[in-house]
Amino acid sequence: MRAKDRKYFKNKLLQKRLELISLVQKTEDYGREANTDAEGMDLADKASSSYTKELMFSKSDSDRQLLQEVVDALNRIEEGGYGECINCGNAVERKRLEAVPWSPLCLDCQEQAEGAG
Q: What pairs with residue 84 in β-bridges?
A: 91
The rounded distance, in Å, linking the Cα atoms of 102 and 63 is: 13
Which residues within the stretch 56-95 sit at the binding site for Zn ion (CB under 5 A)? 85, 87-88
Q: In the bound complex, what is the minimum distance in angstroms from residue 110's beta carbon to Zn ion?
A: 8
Query: Would you say 47 or 88 has its CB closer to Zn ion?
Result: 88
The rounded distance, in Å, linking the Cα atoms of 55 and 35 is: 14
97 binds Zn ion (CB under 5 A): no
Which residues within the stretch 6-45 sit at the binding site for Zn ion (CB under 5 A)? none
Query: Residue type at 16?
Result: K
Query: Would you say 41 or 113 has its CB closer to Zn ion?
Result: 113
One symbol per residue from 98 to 117: x for binding Zn ion (CB under 5 A), - otherwise; what is it? --------x--x--------
Q: What pairs with residue 91 in β-bridges?
A: 84
Q: In the bound complex, what is the minimum distance in angstroms from residue 96's beta carbon to Zn ion?
A: 11
Measured CA distances, 101 to 53, 89, 94 (Å): 30, 16, 9
